[in-house]
Amino acid sequence: MIRTLLAQNGWLILLATLVSSTSALFALYMVAAISDQISQTAGDPSSWLARFLLGIVALFALGFLSQWLLTLLSTRFVAKLRKTISTNILNANYAQLEYTGGHKLYAALTSDISSVSGALSTFPVFVFNLTAIFVCLLYLATQSLDLFTLLIGVLLVAVGTIQILMDASAVRIQALRESEDSLFSYFKALIDGSKELSVNRDRKRFFLDEQLHGGVQTMKGKERSAQLFMNISMNWGTTVLFIAMGIVAISASVFFQLPQPVVTTFVFVLIYLAGPIGGVINDQQVLIRGFVGAAKLDSLRLNAQPLVETNAAANALLHEPSVAHKKLHDFERLQVRGLHYRYKDLEKLESEDANTDEYHFSVGPIDFEIQRGEVVFFVGGNGSGKSTVAKLITGLYQYDSGELMLNGKAQTPEDDAYRAHFYTIHAECYVFDTLLDEHGKLADDARSREWLERLGLAHKIRVENGVLSSTNLSSGQRKRLALLQAYLQDAPIYVFDEWAAEQDPIFRELFYTELLPELKRQNKAVIAVSHDDAYFGVADRVVKFDQGQIVSQELGTTVSAVSTSTSNTSHSQSPALAELEVKR
């Protein structure tokens, strides 16, 4: 993907490089002109002044143009890289994203992209400095070949030494980048676990002292180590120039008996070269960080493909206006045939010593069917596989074998057109601050306010132009807000994973005895992962899971009849719902 972006911006990189190189030529022109004036070989002063002013104007104009091109290049590349990576994360296999870890993706979207962008924008400057060094040395060769040969010998020794130091710095920059992943994981834990850390003194102390502060200290040590070799390289480069000037000065007078203007030119050019040589050494550090960042981006692999590989077809489908929605309500039934999935230790599978016989939880084979207007409960103990099957059906996980069919036609679960049939509220759901309708546009405020009122959130949240005033709510309230978003988007199939688990009795009863029957009357298909056996009578069927298998499928009324907790269950309004009506 990096190569693709480089190819797309090749003309801009080439133009910036050419401008930088031309600017380097004019810099040498200025150095030579000043050297001639100092050596009193410049000729007519008025002619020299005209050439000098021309060089000043050209140097400023080319320098400004070069920097502006670098700005265009850097901002364009960063924007394109961020959009492409974000799109591919959305198109990625969710199971692989779980394995990769959010902290690594955060690091990729921030640190790695910045490093690659910095390297890209530095490259023309690097070329400028290299060009300046090359043309200056070429100019010195025209002044005295003997002195030039001696100078080259000194510089070659210096370059070899500097390269050894730069290689040592590169190794440490690589180690530094690996440590950054760990530090990002601590930052993520700091935010996600803030409640637990706030109320547990021992956990907070251990986290700060042994983990977060340890990670910061490790980063500091590795950064210092990398910078140490870089600083030695830069100072050694400057020192070598003065050594070279001393050798030039003594050799010119003792061995070669060169005229004073030639010696002055050599010394003056070497003083000028201190900037470009220091720039080359510093630019190398930026380029190394860019190469490390690019390698890190390409190492984030999903389905054996680079995470950031351009996926033009998927991107085009994502932005095609509601193609799938036109056929959503043609849905009649969803069929699952022989579905099988086995959890894998992805890290071990990537290693050579992977043990394929090691136990991993699996589900299936699963045979299941749901039709429009049907409410089905998935029930079973913790770890029975019911939530995993829901993720397989909705396309979050990619099954190992089997088939998913809509209206009798085989489907590809990673296809957005298939996934568009579902609206899922996960056990741990994220709630966005915008409300969308069934067409993917901002929802009507009046309709949204009706649902906020019905779900007991109107006193907490306001909506204006489809944007919510806040999503800073309790877990149960966030799930009610997610339910509001689900209703507004009007999908043909709803999947609720333990939606009622964190609701108080009022809203639990509202969900089971009012909202689910409403969805049924609207001819929606509903899959509800639930432990609430008191409400099994609401379901048309109750599908029970155990050890990753469907062990029974019964009518909801049958299961409800044998449950001791369902004796008072009915579709009539309960005291809890009556209390809610009073509150409204």
Q: What is the mean pLDDT of residues 163-182?
A: 81
574 and 535 Cβ atoms separated by less than 8 Å: no
Tokens at 124, concatenated = 């023309």
Instruction: For the chain, give the mean pLDDT.
Output: 76
CA distance 10 to 410: 43
CA distance 557 to 541: 8
Name which of 303-312, 392-401, 572-581 the model is least confident about: 572-581
Residue 301 has pLDDT above 70, yes or no: no
Residue 219 has pLDDT above 70, yes or no: yes
**Distances 442 to 87, 92, 485 between C-alpha atoms, Å:** 21, 26, 11
87 and 292 Cβ atoms separated by less than 8 Å: no
The model's confidence at residue 266, banded by pLDDT at 50, 70 and 90, is confident
Burial of 471 (0-12, 13-18, 19+ CB in 10 A): middle
Is beta strand 525-529 parallel, antiparallel or unpaired with respect to 493-497?
parallel
The class that CATH gives domain 323-345+360-583 is alpha beta
Percentage of the chain surpassing pLDDT 70? 79
- Bigger pLDDT: 203 or 527? 527
The CATH number of 2-306, from 1.10.10.350, 2.60.120.620, 1.10.10.10, 1.20.1560.10, is 1.20.1560.10
pLDDT at 102: 66
pTM of the model: 0.61
Residues comprising the chain, all counted? 584
**Distances 577 to 136, 510, 519, 522 between C-alpha atoms, Å:** 87, 7, 18, 22
Name which of 258-262, 320-324, 426-430 the model is least confident about: 320-324
Digit-coded pLDDT (tens) for 121-154: 777 778 778 888 888 888 888 888 888 888 888 8
pLDDT at 42: 55
pLDDT at 312: 52
CA distance 175 to 478: 41
Alpha helices in 208-259 (DSSP H): 213-251
489 and 432 Cβ atoms separated by less than 8 Å: no
Residue 525 has pLDDT above 50, yes or no: yes
Nearest to 400 by CA among 360, 353, 347, 348: 360
Residues with Cβ < 8 Å from 567, sequence gap 6 or more? none
Nearest to 554 by CA among 568, 566, 539: 539
Name which of 193-197, 341-345, 437-441, 569-573 the model is least confident about: 569-573
pLDDT at 2: 55
Stretch(es) of the chain classified as CATH 1.20.1560.10: 2-306
CA distance 426 to 389: 13
Digit-coded pLDDT (tens) for 220-231: 888 888 888 888
CA distance 26 to 183: 46
Stretch(es) of the chain classified as CATH 3.40.50.300: 323-345+360-583
